[in-house]
Structure 1
């Protein structure tokens, strides 16, 4: 399969992951505000700001995580199964955002695991963890649904006579 085709399909999949991430942040932020008895922010402002600030994060996640995995995992791998790929995408999104949220704690290696658990238990980090999980899940699901793996020998699905509609 051509490199340009793989880059294009993974970018489109990550775009839909970004869209789903932005949609999921509103209910997640609402739940956190309700749990902590904080006033609800103006959701349109939250949506616009999160959408703008998430663009570089999602682009870097695509460039350093999603694209290399798409290039490295063979077309016929079990990891591309429609049940396994979204699960792994959601887990990797959650894990990547969890590590990103704890980068300042890496400077103090003696307290890494204690600080990791504390960061994950803080409700302020939940919307970001949910958004990252939904982004990875949606991108992986889009990829396996629009470019399914081939069970038998032959041409990969993305090079078949009737290419799938990416959008």
Structure 2
């Protein structure tokens, strides 16, 4: 349980760092201050922490318990790809939901594209990093004492 929760924490930190970098790159194009950016990141970090805790309890931890330790699915590369695909599947749901409810119009697409990219990359990055970190915990230590 401890290794699984630590891996998910690493994923949460990675997704928030990626979002911060993306927002810093976008800052010159927007009319927002650095103070607004920090406040937004803090609010997003708190909210995403609650969501990721729920995802850990409902998805990541049960999968960690179900996949046997010697499974090929626990290889770092395979685990990272599976974690990324599982997390990024949120993007498909967001795009389908947005299109279904509002239709696709060119005028509203710019904001949706930025929000969709930030929202979708966060769970993908979280899943990828968490699965990779957790799979590396299973690898034998090759360092000599």
More contact order relative to length (CA 8 Å, sep ≥ 6):
2
Structure 1 stretches of 5 or more lacking a match? 1-6, 149-156, 163-167
Distance, in Å, in 1 between the alignment partners of 2:33 and 2:87 is 25
1:23 deviates by 0.8
* Alignment correspondent of 2:62: 68
Matches within 5 A, 1:14-163: 14-31=8-25, 37-42=29-34, 43-96=37-90, 98-99=92-93, 101=94, 105=97, 111=100, 122-148=113-139
Q: CA RMSD in A?
A: 2.9
- Give the alignment's TM-score, normalised by structure 1: 0.66
- Give the alignment's TM-score, normalised by structure 2: 0.75
Structure 2 stretches of 5 or more lacking a match? none
Secondary structure of 1:75's aligned partner: coil
* Alignment correspondent of 1:151: none
After superposition, what is the alpha-carbon deviation per residue over 1:12-46, rounded to whole angstroms, capped at 9, x for unaligned? Answer: 11011111111111122345566xx4334533122
1:122 deviates by 1.9
Distance, in Å, in 2 between the alignment partners of 1:60 and 1:53 is 11
Distance, in Å, in 2 between the alignment partners of 1:90 and 1:45 is 27
Greater helix share, structure number: 2
